[in-house]
Amino acid sequence: MSTITSEKIRDGLKEVQNAICKFLIEETSQNYNEDLWDYHKGKGGGITRVWEGNNDENFYLQKELSSDASVDRLEKAGVNFSFIEGTNMPSSAVEQLKIAPDTAFIATGVSLVIHPYSPWIPTIHMNVRYFEAGDRWWFGGGVDLTPVYPQKDKVIQFHKTLKALCDRHHMPELKISYTQGKEECDKYFYLKHRDECRGVGGLFFDQLTSANIADRDRIWDFIHDMGMTFIQLYKPFLEKSIQLLPYTKEQREFQLYRRSRYVEFNLLFDRGTKFGIMSEGRTESILMSLPAVAKWKYNFKPTPNTPESELTEYYLKPKNWVDL
């Protein structure tokens, strides 16, 4: 018999949101704007917390100022929590899940995306979620890293931390393992029209469930641990020595060019974005994942044998990072 209720899951996910927000404030000395909202088709709502930095682009393109410790570090970031209940199932969910439209449901989760100013600090995305409809339930979640100028040792450590997380909860019978989660992530975050991965991967799990209700406790422990492990995953990239590392106008321009790939994926392929919009979710919270600034350049190709060309030729190819 499962001892985990939807209320305990809700409270555990709020804990994840609060811990991550506290961490980001401590590391960047930059605070968020909070927006509380109510679910318009039932009960519950959410807590959206968004960081938006200085919008003066010329300020951040000056190399001599990029090392100023007083400037904003997060250009656009959000850590969102939601918990909603209802009996009016979104049509997209009814079609996808083959559930009667009037089935009572609960959906809760934490979703975050962080777009730093500095090209040296990677963009990161994480999502942990729970869905319950009638007697059906499942968890999902994942985390992936999108660097512009990768540091190989930190990419390897990122994957080793994810492997340690999965090893703590190794349940291959429930499809929880580092190997499976990494393979699913490499497949999911792939831009077909560009023939490249969005970043250096991570983990991706969807519809984790079991015929045995007691397994819900075990899966929840894994999902909650994933959420709390985010701090350990991202902290090495927010070291002060990296935050204060100067960058050039050309490096910033390359970052904005690479961000366009992030936008393309989120608007063309991301299931969460599509599901949220189709189910009449809260648009502002859904599109929080998009960066404040991105650029598209026609037929741009990096100069060979440069860090910019190395990104696509080496880092954006799936690799067994933990064994490198």
- Read out DSSP for 102-124? T--EEEEEEEEEEEESSTTSPEE
Instruction: Indicate which residue of 125, 159, 169, 170 is catalytic.
Output: 125
125 counts as catalytic: yes
State the residue for tokens 């992936």.
144
Does residue 102 contact residue 58 with C-beta atoms inside 8 Å?
no
From the list 84, 141, 133, 77, the residue with the least C-alpha distance to 110 is 141
- Read out DSSP for 193-240? TTTEESSS-EEEEEEE--SSTTHHHHHHHHHHHHHHHHHHHHGGGG-H
Label residue 154 exposed, middle or buried (CB < 10 Å: 0-12, 13-18, 19+).
middle
**Which of helix, strand or coil describes residue 24?**
helix
Q: Which residues are known to be catalytic?
A: 125
